[in-house]
Amino acid sequence: MTTPVYFPAQFMEHTPHAVFMQRCLQLADLGAGYTAPNPLVGAILVHDGRIIGEGYHGIYGGPHAEVNCIQSVKSADRVLIPSSTLYVSLEPCCHYGKTPPCTELILGEKIKKTVIGCRDPFPLVDGKGIEKLRTQGVAVEFPVLEDLAKEKNHRFFTFHLNKRPYIILKWAESANHKIAAEQGKRTGISNAWSNRLVHKWRTEEAGILIGTNTAMLDNPQLTARLWTGKNPVRIVVDHQLRLPVSLNIFDGTAPTIILNGKKDSLSGDLIFKKIPLERPDPASILSALHSLQIMSLLVEGGAKLLQSFINAGSWDEIRILTNQELLLPGGIPSPQLGNAQFVKSETYGPDQVSYYRNPKMLFP
Ligand SMILES: NC(=O)c1ccc[n+]([C@@H]2O[C@H](COP(=O)([O-])OP(=O)(O)OC[C@H]3O[C@@H](n4cnc5c(N)ncnc54)[C@H](OP(=O)(O)O)[C@@H]3O)[C@@H](O)[C@H]2O)c1
């Protein structure tokens, strides 16, 4: 490859492939919160070191990154497409899903070289996209920045390889580690800044889960009204179907899944999913949500539900908001962390946000 004309000097120590793949990964991020259960994907077309097209997968069911990339090429540059290299952060699809196969598009545009970040674990692709391109004479360089490309789609990889949603447990607590003042009393713990952060997190996940008591006692809305983005699907465990329909989670502002022991049915935005067990455990909850295509899950309490996930080892991340100025004598104790690895903390006024990861729960 000739030295790229538009190659920034500070990147010269890296290979051009890595730098162009880095751009694909940046573009992929622009779809965050909108593509589930599809992955985040970015693509660029490079001709003689110049990027002539860029695209990303922007919304579930919408055109894939490769399509948007090729469509973005200016008419004067279209003649360059067959002699350009297509960089894409995830293996191109080769099956008919909501859109036609991207491998057909690449072949149709007569592109002769592609560089791919990582393989797609989705069973209908899983290496077949690369094979199809190679057998049709397209040179495929693969993998490039594989770990970063997989990390970008850790929710998607967890969903397909571990057959469950990616799980983030979250709670707010006082300085003396209490999640509520007392049973039955809604307690404001986090401040306006950290509340906004939580709403941002809500836009990033496919679903948000709470226990029966939290739905009944706190009557939360579980929407992302303090941030710009998509509301997650609201999910509540209500085994005996004892929650009143007057609760906010049944108000129709976002779809709601009711995991229960009695029925499977659909009524407008309410999805009743039966878990045929005496008592739903995390494994059965996750298997039900996997079947409903919920790719990632923010579990927002209460203590019993959160603890059941920790005890089962069924979690990937924990995020705790601690109000360092609030003491709640008596009160409901926070869940016990168990084997959690501290990652980092941030400060929002009196609130400290601590991030942990589960050392055992990385996708294979
Ligand atoms: N600070 C925070 O971040 C935060 C967040 C949320 C809630 N809260 C507080 O937490 C309190 C409620 O917490 P909680 O521990 O009493 O109740 P919870 O965890 O919200 O709900 C527990 C109930 O959910 C049902 N359940 C179904 N599957 C379960 C499973 N796998 N594991 C555990 N429970 C399951 C059971 O109800 P059945 O027995 O009827 O089946 C159980 O009694 C409230 O005071 C609320 O204000 C605080």
pLDDT in tens, 115-158: 999 999 999 999 999 999 999 999 999 999 999 999 999 999 99
Calpha distance 292→299 (Å, rounded)? 17
CA angle, corner 258, sides to 255 and 261, nearest 5?
A: 160
Which one-letter amino acid corresponds to residue 95?
A: H
Instruction: Give all domains of the chain, ordered by start, each with its CATH number.
Output: 9-152 (3.40.140.10), 165-357 (3.40.430.10)
Query: If you measure from the C-alpha of residue 208 to the centroid of ligand 1, how many angstroms do you get, rounded to a whole number?
Result: 14
In this structure, what DSSP letter does residue 225 have?
T
Which atom of ligand 1 lies closest to the CA of 185? 45
Taking a C-beta distance cutoff of 8 angstroms, is the pair 65, 89 a contact? Answer: yes
165: nearest Cα among 282, 246, 254, 321:
282
Taking a C-beta distance cutoff of 8 angstroms, is the pair 43, 68 a contact? Answer: yes
Active site residue 317: no
Catalytic residue, chosen from 66, 91, 204, 317, is 66
User: Which tokens in the block code for residue 40?
Assistant: 């985040």
User: Which tokens in the block code for residue 103?
Assistant: 């491998």
The whole-number pLDDT of residue 6 equals: 53
Q: What is the mean pLDDT of the chain?
A: 93
Query: If you measure from the C-alpha of residue 212 to the centroid of ligand 1, how many angstroms do you get, rounded to a whole number?
Result: 6
233: nearest Cα among 291, 172, 297:
297
Query: If you measure from the C-alpha of residue 303 to the centroid of ligand 1, how many angstroms do you get, rounded to a whole number?
Result: 6
Could you tell me which residues come within 8 angstroms of residue 8 by beta carbon, excluding any fewer than 6 positions away?
A: none
**Spans in the chain with pLDDT lower than 50:** 1-5, 12
Helix H or strand E segment including 133 = helix 128-135
Whether the model clears a pTM of 0.85, i.e. scores above it, the answer is: yes
* From 169, 182, 210, 214, mutation site for ligand 1 pocket: most ligand atoms within 8 A of C-beta: 214
CA angle, corner 176, sides to 170 and 180, nearest 5?
A: 55
Calpha distance 146→234 (Å, rounded)? 33
253: nearest Cα among 278, 224, 285:
224
For 61, how many CA atoms within 13 A lie in the half-sphere containing its CB? 0
Identify the residue whose C-alpha is closest to ligand 1 atom 44.
214
The whole-number pLDDT of residue 80 equals: 98
The whole-number pLDDT of residue 317 equals: 97
